[in-house]
Amino acid sequence: MAAVQAPAIPIVGDLIRANPGTISMGQGVVGYGPPPEALARIHTFLADPENHKYQAVEGMTPLVDRIRRKLRDENGVDVGPDRAIVVTAGGNMGFLNAVLAIADPGDEVIIPSPYYFNHEMAIALASARPVPVATDPRYRLRLDALEAALTPRTRAIVTVSPNNPTGAVFPEDDLRAVNALCLRRGLYHLCDEAYEHFVWNGARHFSPASIAGSEEHTIGLYSLSKSYGMASWRIGWMVVPRRLFEPIRKIQDTNLICPPVISQWAAVGALEAGRAYVQRQLPAVAAARQIVLDALLAADDVCHVPAADGAFYVLLRTPVAADAMTVVRRLVCEHRVAVMPGSTFGVTEGCALRVSYGPLDRDQAAEGVRRLVGGLRAMAAS
């Protein structure tokens, strides 16, 4: 445990609380809440006293059925007899479930870098070894490097698309190539799709579990936290090969017993509202995105911003001569704007900062990025 990194979000949260008036461009959440249909389903929960008791470890049938239809209609994923759905307490639990089910101590899991820090932490918690593999300058996958990193201990390759922390959207051809590599080498492909609805500039989300023949080696991870504004409700799900169903039930029963039933009923309502609800929220997120990107691209003296056509993040690089956490502290304490240090996502060379525009309205986005650029210029000049 001492060797597992401390997540930066609570550290930055403490800084924000100590500096009132700070605009947070740090944590990855949206500014809107759940659809009314989700809240209405709380009455369904309350109407039946049985809902106060433990329910099925893998999730209650009304929600699993809704998820099955959603996967078929939106992702092209058919959950037939070779697959199973497991409802989880958010996407992070799904990832940890998967790693515990497939990796023995000392086994290796490849994570393209920059990586989502909780993935790296989960692999370490399972006594496996995270193996970061660098992406290209646009934060796209380097297929040759992924294959070169394989060893006899490799158990899986992880992809996150749309990506946290970079905002990159991996092309369908690249995801198909990774999936084919996993099939050929007897590995699992762990596909985190928490940001599936957040794609911009004509980018398209693709679910590797929709590939014909992927049933036995592909694990899809999904979440309601982002798209449906339900971060604190802690509901997500896994699509797993049938042979992993019982191992994952053991893990989840030990750690959780069952996902919160009140949240599961809210999730039924959210999926009843469906993609149309998410689509109505996206223009506001897109407006904040454009304000932030325009300002960062105009500040090319202190910001280098690769294309970020997905999620609600930008991972910028800056020539400021300080480590990323020092820059973050100064931005909060001196300029009242918070971002996340790239070092927590595995960026070890130079200074990188993850900027989130998901929770911001237009005015907050404009003021936040003004403070950010001003702070970086002040530090670069000092």
If asked whether residues 193 and 326 sit together in one domain, one would say no
Among the candidates 222, 256, 273, a domain finishes at 273
| 209 in the same domain as 282 | no
9 vs 226: CA distance, rounded Å: 16
With a cut of 70, list the residues of the chain below it in pLDDT: none
Are residues 228 and 285 located together in one domain of the fold? no
**Residue 1, domain member (yes or no):** no
Q: What is the DSSP letter of 189?
A: E
Output the pLDDT for position 6: 84
| Token pair of 213 as six digits | 């023949």
State CA 153 to chain mean position distance. 26
**Residue 3: CB partners within 8 Å, gap ≥ 6?**
124
Pull the structure tokens for residue 160: 């996150």
Is residue 165, in this structure, part of any structural domain at all?
yes
Same domain, 197 and 332: no
Position 307 scores a pLDDT of 87
Question: How many residues does this entry show for the chain?
Answer: 382
d(CA 247, CA 11): 34
Same domain? For 220 and 202 the reply is yes
Asked whether residue 202 falls in the same domain as residue 325, the answer is no
Statement to judge: residues 263 and 309 lie in one domain: no
Residue 68 and residue 168 in one domain? yes
* Dihedral pair phi/psi, residue 155, rounded to 5°: -110, -25
Q: Tell which residue, 341, 342, 340, 326, has the closest CA to residue 379.
A: 326
Domain boundary among 273, 293, 323: 273
19 and 42, same domain (yes or no): no
Q: Assign residue 365 the CATH number of its domain.
A: 3.90.1150.10
**264's tokens:** 């599961």
Query: Residue 65 burial (CB < 10 Å; 0-12/13-18/19+)?
Result: middle
The pLDDT value recorded for residue 193 is: 98
Q: What share of the chain is helix, strand, coil (3-state, %, to 5)?
A: 45, 15, 35
Domain count, the chain: 2
Q: Is residue 24, in this structure, part of any structural domain at all?
A: yes
CATH of the domain at 73: 3.40.640.10
334 within a domain of the structure (yes/no):
yes
Q: Is residue 364 part of a domain?
A: yes
User: Does residue 40 share a domain with residue 27?
Assistant: no
Q: Find the domain containing 297 and state its range.
A: 8-33+276-381
Same domain, 166 and 44: yes
111: which strand partners? 132
Domain boundary residue, one of 244, 273, 302? 273
Q: How many angstroms separate the CA atoms of 30 and 190, rounded?
A: 24
Contact 339, 369 (CB under 8 A): no
Give the whole-angstrom CA distance, residue 46 versus residue 365: 39
Per residue in 301-339, pLDDT (tens digit) is 999 999 899 999 999 999 999 999 999 999 999 999 999
- Specify if 3 maps to a domain: no
Residue 2 lies in a domain: no
Q: Looking at the structure, do residues 298 and 249 belong to the same domain, yes or no?
A: no
